[in-house]
Amino acid sequence: MPIYSGVSQGALDAKFNSVCTSLSRVWLQQGFAMYNSTLISDIARVETGNRKALVQQKLIINASNYKIVGLTDPTEYTKNPPKIIAECGYSRVDLFAIDWGDLEDDDSKMSTLASIPELGGSPALVPLTESLRVLANNKVTLYDDKPLFDATHNIDPFGGAGTGSNIISQALTGDGWNKALQQIITRKDPGSKNNKPQLPNGSLNGRNLTILCGHVGVASALVKIFDPASQWATQVEAGISAASESRRVYTQATIQLVPEMAAIGNDSNVIADPATYCYIMVNNTPNRGLFCRIPDLPTVSEPERIADKHMTRRKGFQTFGIEPSWPWALYKWNFT
């Protein structure tokens, strides 16, 4: 007898290609602006669209050799020597691969289609996770050929102005924060002389000072320190401790909870306890602690036929590179 059946395979196959193409189209429409509202734009100086094999970042140093002279005396200006503080290439980053089986049942295919839009955020995750990995590895910066976090960074990369530290060892208390902030605001700029210092961090506030925390307990402790009057100043119920501070601190900072800090370690897969430290970002200048490159927008490749498996594959990828750069934009606060 005749056999009749409903045919849906062709429609679902076409839908698969359409959804993957739409993903690339959305990324193209957003352009590099998709990274503007992410943490990478705060922690790194991001250069987009430049496909040179290697890009250098230079620092112009404002040497403090100003002179007070008579109104008609000859003019002589101090030269501002540049210093290369980062060199960054880039690599291909394979984001995902979606396999579409010709003979899969309709329910499995519909489940695959429903999950594809969730992949739209993948390109924004790569810069964040890789920047945290650079911090965890404490890679060497070209600024003075020392690790990004170091207790003896040269104040002037050309030497002759002493050293400073972007590692802070203080307790997680109001007094510890005051000492941490004091270390930050008295940091001298490169080019400073002993009798002609440049202290660029005196006007820090919550708009240009951010603390990255990987542990909820650290974030809660900082909230208590910054605003004890409204945050548990007295014990209101059993099990909720009173704040350890009874006064406001001089300068507050924006507190950013970054749960990835609890999951991302160094290249040896050693993960530091996020309850024992935090990062402090000083963003009062265009310089950032890291230098990041995103030469190409993410895209989804054309269908790749895997004939012997009766399968079609679509791949998502982008290009990316990141290196440590300016040590004075990032501090590591180790709690004692």
- The Cα–Cα gap between 174 and 246 comes to 9
Domain ranges, ordered by start, for the chain:
34-96+123-335
What are the contacts of 237-245 at 24+ separation with CB within 8 A? 244/173, 244/174, 245/173, 245/174
- At 140 the pLDDT is 96
**Are 88 and 321 a contacting pair, CB within 8 Å?**
yes
Q: Which of 60, 116, 71, 123 is nearest to 95 (CA)?
A: 123
Confidence (pLDDT) at 232 = 52
Residue whose pair of structure tokens reads 């987009």 in the numeric block: 48
What is the model's pLDDT at position 302? 92
**pLDDT beneath 50, residues of the chain:** 1, 4-8
**175 is written with which tokens?**
């007094």
Tokens encoding 153: 């960074």
* β-sheet bridge partners, residue 323: 291
Q: Where are the beta strands (DSSP E) in the chain?
A: 44-48, 55-60, 82-88, 91-101, 140-141, 146-147, 153-154, 163-164, 167-170, 209-213, 254-257, 277-282, 290-294, 299-300, 304-306, 311-324, 330-335
Beta pairing class for 209-213 and 254-257: parallel
The amino acid at residue 1 is M
Write down the pLDDT at residue 324.
97
Residue type, 39: L
Backbone phi, then psi, for 298, in 5-degree steps? -65, 155
Read off the pLDDT of residues 20-41 as tens digits, 9 standing for 90 and up: 999 999 999 999 998 887 889 8
- Among 54, 94, 92, 95, smallest CA distance to 291 is for 54
- The rounded distance, in Å, linking the Cα atoms of 301 and 253 is 43
Whole-structure pTM value:
0.86
User: Residue 246: which of 228, 234, 268 has the closest Cα?
Assistant: 228
Q: What stretch of H or E contains 182?
A: helix 174-185
In the 8-state DSSP scheme, what is residue 46? E
